[in-house]
Chains A and B, each alone.
Chain A
Amino acid sequence: MSEETDCPSAAPTKPNLRFTIPSDFKFSCDVQQQIMAEVDKHGYCESARFAIMLALEEAIVNAIKHGNQFDIRKSVYIEADVTAQSTRITVEDEGPGFDRCSVPDPRARENLEKCSGRGILLIEAYMTRVEWTNKGKRLTMYRVNEPDAEEAVGCVA
């Protein structure tokens, strides 16, 4: 798949880490800690580490809050592939899905003072590449272990 060859990753096909959690924030901390521990093991630069931590937090919150609507019966699936060169994280919810293109730009004047709606912007700004699949329920994001994510962020509906 082109997204696999675009990213300079030696990621194995099977992810290092896999998690399934109910739609409750209290279950997400341990997941984030384990993924970040794996990132730390590979000695990521500070800016890449910051980017991964932020995007991971935003992605899981979105899946629980917006995707699964806090329905404890619905699960969030998280996978992480961490190598010294790059990290790939997938977060998938069991919600109805959404159209990425219909999400308003939180930087627009009329939205600037709204209290929510910035998670996707931050994910796409900080990760090297982002893909939305399965009707928006599945988010795959990549971050290279380099100080600046210079590659233009793209998204696939």
Chain B
Amino acid sequence: MPETTTPSLVVNEQKGINICEFTCSKILDETNIKEIGDVLGALIERREYPKILLDFANVDHLSSAALGMLINANNRLRQRNGQLRLCKIRPQILEVFAITKLNKLFRILSTRDEALESFTH
């Protein structure tokens, strides 16, 4: 059952992990990006040791501003001793992460199951 629904992100919780699915195929618009960032921020602040999984299955375009939003979320998560995983990223989007070397910063897994199993408890 969806816990929190926004036009851009659907969040479900499973075993203490917030699974966030992007609903828009293009994460380009600044308003959209801010909205996603605000939802992630609220999840991060909600509890100690937050765990967030971002599912990119529906995403076929994103901008550098979206990458900045993800980095900001990652930085805030670390401050809260939290964990972030990204999964199901399409090859074209994965290339964006590789070109910017952000594939070294984020933990990126192929499937949702792999990502869920990778969280330390």
Give A residues with C-beta under 8 Å from B.
25, 29, 46-47, 50, 53-54, 57-58, 61, 106-107, 112-116, 118-119, 121-122, 125
Contact = CB atoms under 8 A, between A and B. Distances in A.
Contacts of B30: 25, 61
| Chain B residues touching A, range | 20 to 34
Contact of B61 (A53, A106, A119, A125): A53
Given A58-B63, A61-B65, A107 B71 contact: no
10 contacts: A25-B30, A46-B92, A50-B61, A50-B92, A58-B63, A112-B102, A115-B71, A116-B65, A121-B100, A122-B96
Q: Majority SS of interface residues in chain A? A: helix
A54 B100 contact: no
Given A50-B61, A57-B28, A107 B68 contact: no
A61 B31 CA distance: 13
Nearest to A119: B64
Contact of B71 (A58, A61, A113, A122): A113
B63 A57 contact: yes
Across the A-B interface, the 6 shortest Cβ-Cβ residue pairs: A115-B68, A118-B64, A107-B101, A119-B64, A125-B99, A115-B72
B75 A118 contact: no
